Amino acid sequence: MSMGSTTTHTGYLAVRQLKGSRTRVYYAYWRDSHGTKHGRRLGPAHVRDTGRRTARGAVVWRAGDGPRPSAEHLTPQDAQAELQRILDEQQQQPAAAGSLAGDGAWDGVVAGVRCVAFRPGG
């Protein structure tokens, strides 16, 4: 790949519930310019189910009621900003061999930055 070409990194967010706990956690998943899959745990999620679903049946999340339990908890907007920061960081870095340590299963890429799925027990 030439230095002058630009590539678009895409990714998505997932909310998962920790095993044996009621804690929900944000995970970010993305592909780099080589198509390598990456994933990272972002932090605890301060979210609530809206009752709506996407066309694929995933939960549409909104920020939880009241103040965040701690500064570490992420609202949907916080998680989107963090994913965008990761994608921008990837865009700035030269393509490197290998991949970052991935967290969890990879189900594919949804273009753009969206909060998509809740996967119990993951």
pLDDT in tens, 71-100: 999 999 999 999 999 999 888 876 554 444
Higher pLDDT, 53 or 115: 53
Tell me the average pLDDT of the chain: 78
- What is the extent of the structural domain holding 99? 10-119
Query: Which backbone phi and psi does 96 adopt, to 5 degrees?
Result: -115, 150
If one counts the domains in the chain, the total is 1
Residue 16 placed within a domain: yes
Residue 2 placed within a domain: no
Q: What is the pLDDT of residue 101?
A: 44
Residue 4 placed within a domain: no
Nearest-angstrom CA–CA distance, 118 and 99: 25
Q: What is the pLDDT of residue 118?
A: 53
Residue 93 placed within a domain: yes
Q: What is the pLDDT of residue 82?
A: 94
Residue 21 placed within a domain: yes
Nearest-angstrom CA–CA distance, 57 and 44: 23
Q: Which residue has the tokens 């907007």?
A: 77
Residue 37 placed within a domain: yes
Query: Which backbone phi and psi does 84 adopt, to 5 degrees?
Result: -65, -40
- When pLDDT is averaged across residues 51-79 and rounded to a whole number, the result is 93
Question: CA angle 88-74-31, nearest 5°?
Answer: 35
Lowest mean pLDDT among 6-10, 73-77, 82-86, 115-119: 115-119
